[in-house]
Amino acid sequence: MNQAVKEHIFSSGQKLQIAQGDITVETVDAIVNAANCHLAHGAGVAGAIVRRGGPQVQVESNQWVHEHGPVTHAKPAVTKGGNLPCHYIIHAVGPRWGDGDEPAKLKAAIHGSLRSAEQLGLGSIAFPAISTGIFGFPTSLAAQVILSTILEYLSHNPASSLKLIRLVLFDQETLQAFLKSWEQDDHLQP
C-alpha cells in the first residue's frame, strides 16, 4: 500500500488519508475507478486498472452495462477486482468539465461510491482524483469537492462500515492541490 502523507482520525475511529502513488497496488477492500458511462476502460486510471486487473475486469464491466445500461454519476457500477489486491472496483462516472453542473455531478459520484461500499459492508476504500485527467475538471476545485463530500458522508454516517478512506494521488501537482484543500478545511485540523 502507498505511504500516507496525511491522516485524520475522527472521533468515530474512521480514518481519512491522503497518499501519493499507484491506486492499483492498494490493499483496501475496494478501489474507485474514474470511469466513463459505458465502462470502456482505455486510458488514465481506468486503463491502468484494467492492465493490472486483467481482462476479466473489462468483461465484467461489459456485462454490467449490458444488464443495467450506462452508468450514472450517482449510481456507480461494481465489479470484482480481478488480479488487483482489492476485492472490488467501484466504477464511478465523474463529470466532463464543460458539460454543466460539474461540482454537483462529482459530489454525486463520490457519494454514490461511498454508498456502494457501505452497501457491500466494506471497511476500506481508495479514491483517485476523479475527473481531473482527461475529463478536464480543475484539480483544486475537484480536491475541495471530493474532500467536502467525504467529510459530509462521514459526519452523517459515523457508524458506517467504512473505517478507512484513502485518496491516492498519482502525481505531485494533484497531491499538492489536495494537501492545500486539506489544510484549508477546519474539520481536518487538530
Residue 73, domain extent: 28-184
Per residue in 117-148, pLDDT (tens digit) is 999 999 999 999 999 998 999 999 999 999 99
CATH code (residue 126): 3.40.220.10
Per residue in 41-56, pLDDT (tens digit) is 988 889 999 999 999 9
Query: Is 51 part of any domain?
Result: yes
Query: Is 7 part of any domain?
Result: no
Query: Is 19 part of any domain?
Result: no
CB atoms under 10 Å from CB of 82, counted, come to: 18
Residue type, position 39, single letter: L
Query: Is 77 part of any domain?
Result: yes
Query: Is 58 part of any domain?
Result: yes
**Backbone φ, ψ for residue 18 (5° rounding):** -115, 135
CB atoms under 10 Å from CB of 68, counted, come to: 11
Owner of C-alpha cell 502507498: 2
Number of domains in the chain: 1
Per residue in 55-104, pLDDT (tens digit) is 999 999 999 999 999 999 999 999 999 999 999 999 999 999 999 999 99
With a cut of 90, say whether residue 172 has pLDDT above it: yes
